[in-house]
Homo-oligomer: A and B are copies of this chain.
Amino acid sequence: MQLTRYTDYSLRILMYLGLNAERRCTIAEIAETFGVSRNHLMKLTHQLGLMGYVTTLRGKNGGLTLGLPPGKIPIGDLVRKTESNFHLVECFNRERNRCPIAGACVLTTVLDDALTAFFSVLDGYTLADLLKPSGALRHQLGIS
């Protein structure tokens, strides 16, 4: 059971932008900081831009900033958007399901309840909460 890299890196990008709120950041520096390819981050920031989480200013003094205040970015919402699907088991995907007991089986309900509980916890946090240990985080990122 894992989240996608898309979710993992999206959280890192938003945290990085939140910790550098006083300036515009570049994809190059974020790529170097986290050891992730620039191309991969370009695709991710484009998607995060479409979701409203990131604002990109083009040009000489351009760069990336958060598109919303950190307190307006609930972690639950972000993960719901960045995960490609929540098909915990085959029958969650009605189009592809081939399991013959789907419909009568209560496992779907049990797993659905578990997923709801998972997101209930994430819904209790925003990006602002993740940025709270800002001194330690900025130190580990080498931000002066």
Contacts and interface: CB of A to CB of B under 8 A. Distances in A.
A103 to B, nearest CB: 7
A34 B102 CA distance: 11
Interface in A22-80: 33-35, 75
A1 B121 CA distance: 16
Categorize the interface residue count of chain A. 35 or more
How many of these chains are in the complex? 2
A89 B3 contact: yes
A1 B83 contact: yes
Contacts of A99: 12, 34
A95 B136 CA distance: 22
A88 interface: yes
Contact of A140 (B87, B100, B116, B139): B100
Contacts of A100: 33-34, 140-141
Task: Report the 3 A-B pairs with minimum CB-CB distance, sorted nearest first.
Answer: A104-B136, A114-B121, A117-B117
Interface of A: 1-4, 7-8, 11-12, 15, 33-35, 75, 83, 85-90, 98-101, 103-107, 110-111, 113-122, 125, 129-130, 132-133, 136-137, 139-141
